[in-house]
Chain A
Amino acid sequence: MSALEVTFVEEDGTVRTVAADAGQTLMEAGKGNGVVGILADCGGSCACATCHVYVDADWLEAVGAPDDVEAEMLDMVSDVRRDTSRLACQIRLTDRLNGLRVAVAPYA
């Protein structure tokens, strides 16, 4: 396991850089470190959209696009969905994502 760092910008602008392990999901890294707004009601099963983040433009390519199941879930929150939207529980952290930066999306 290698130690990575990922950064969340919370809804009120607070910047939180947290340690994570490769193999964890971004949701686990956020929730485990108490990032505000990463609620993860469904425990990471891609079924609630309470781990919604906007991926920083620089990281979009490395992170990749949502698959069908995830895209459908994101469609249910289209009021706050952007082109950069992802569900954090569906992003598996790897060495390549060391330094990843995302903003936490609002949850009504």
Chain B
Amino acid sequence: MVATTEAAGCPFTGKGGPILETGSLIDPEISARPKAYYDAMRADDPIHLDPKLGMYLVSRFDDIQSIQRDPITFSVYEGYNAQYAKGYFEEFKQILERDGGGYFPDAIMSDPPYHTRIRKLMDNAFSAHRVRELEPRISEIVVDVLEGMADKGQVDVVKAFSVPVTIRVICEQLGIAQYNADNIQRWSLAVTAQIGRMQNREQMIENAKGLCELQHFLIAQIRDRQDHPKEDMISDLVHARTDDQAEPTLTFKEVVSLVRALMIAGNETTATAMTNMFYILATQPKVAEILKRSADDDRLLSRFVEELLRIEPPVRGLSRMTTKEVEVGGKLLPKGAHLLLMYASANDQEDVFPCPREFDMERSNLGRHVAFGGGPHRCIGLSLARMEIRVAAREVIRRLDHFKLDIPVEEIRYLPTVATHSIEKLPVSFSRRV
């Protein structure tokens, strides 16, 4: 193996090797620690057919960009549906129709022009300026959760911080006042498992049950907002209008699927980013030092958040399907090729982000990372996510100090899914900052 980055003075990042022939993204070891696998792909086979998964893994920055910018050739609709509840779809659908109030296909996982209409009807709720107004309330929630754990000295940050904060924020945004956070967490995992490709039939049935409960819960909320609109996102969706004459509003089915999508998409992803923040604070004392001096520096905090998302993107692989034969990155793909866009790999590409494994908040092209995807499907919740993580960083660094991982790095476990790279549990100790 040859160190490619020696000249630039970076730590060695690895390259190529036999891992591509023998490995698969669904091997638990590779799934948990995929960097070497990504490196090998980018070096030797940038669009790599993973036979066990039955998908082409797209690993290079440019290829991901061009695929994202052509939503007709590379269909989210086809890609998502080929992934969804794979192997058990008919049974899964029947369970939802029988016990879950209906089967509500994901309106946002669609292609233009339908997708364009849906995005327009959602956009209102999400502008960066509107999110800015939420900052004080998000701060209150973060501070409240932090104060509850600050004197404990040691917690699992997933359970004690990341999950409760994100659930409270998204429920408040949606306007859901009464809820059981454990249920929401369970439902969340049940939904994301459907695109994870790592559930067996028993787990599918269990997850389908969770989804049924979630749908009943949300349908009650939606019915309520139909008659009693409030200042919240569910009301925004129920009452959204465009100037499109033929279909100016969302259908009930669409609203259910979108509220469900917002609750779930914004949940595990943002929570994972917050957990990753503790991971960085505990393993990179230099970064923690810089942050300690910068709790009031908005520019630096924003850069911290972007670099955190670049270096540890919570969403690592979402799918597309080709609608015709097409060449990408020098490879001819047949019609119907199922692709997984490996955002985490693109974010690690050396000629785009020099010394990619270094946490460097001063990168001049930070905004180029693809942790939020790109093109017309770019994450709609990104302003909210950025705000939540930034507030979390600020309040954590104001209150806590001396972060230390309480398990060896090699023992950190990740959720079994190809779609995200989410730490299951992260015991961290710390002291209150004096």
Interface residues of A (CB under 8 A from B): 39, 41-50, 68-69, 72-73, 75-79, 108
Contacts and interface: CB of A to CB of B under 8 A. Distances in A.
Contact of B364 (A49, A72, A79): A79
A72 B299 contact: yes
Nearest to B362: A78
B129 A46 contact: yes
A45 B380 CA distance: 9
Contact of B302 (A39, A42, A72): A72
A78 B361 CA distance: 12
Nearest 8 Cβ contacts at the A-B interface: A76-B367, A79-B364, A45-B127, A46-B128, A41-B378, A77-B367, A79-B365, A47-B128
Contacts, number: 60
Contact of A69 (B128, B365, B367, B368): B128
A42 B128 CA distance: 10
Interface in B171-211: none
B129 A78 contact: no
B123 interface: yes
Interface size bracket, B side: 20 to 34
A74 to B, nearest CB: 9
24 contacts: A39-B69, A41-B374, A41-B378, A43-B119, A43-B123, A44-B123, A44-B127, A45-B123, A45-B126, A45-B383, A46-B129, A46-B383, A47-B127, A47-B382, A48-B382, A72-B298, A75-B299, A76-B303, A77-B365, A77-B367, A78-B365, A78-B366, A79-B365, A108-B352
Interface in B348-368: 352, 364-368
Q: Which of A41, A47, A50, A77 gathers most chain B CB within 10 Å?
A: A47
Contacts of A78: 364-366
Contacts of A49: 367
Contact of B128 (A45, A75, A77, A108): A45
Given A46-B383, A48-B378, 20 more contacts: A39-B69, A41-B374, A41-B375, A43-B119, A43-B120, A43-B123, A45-B126, A47-B383, A49-B367, A50-B374, A69-B129, A72-B298, A72-B299, A75-B299, A75-B302, A75-B303, A78-B364, A78-B366, A79-B364, A108-B368
Contacts of B367: 49, 73, 76-77
A75 B361 CA distance: 12
Contacts of A69: 128-129, 132
Contacts of A47: 127-128, 382-383, 386
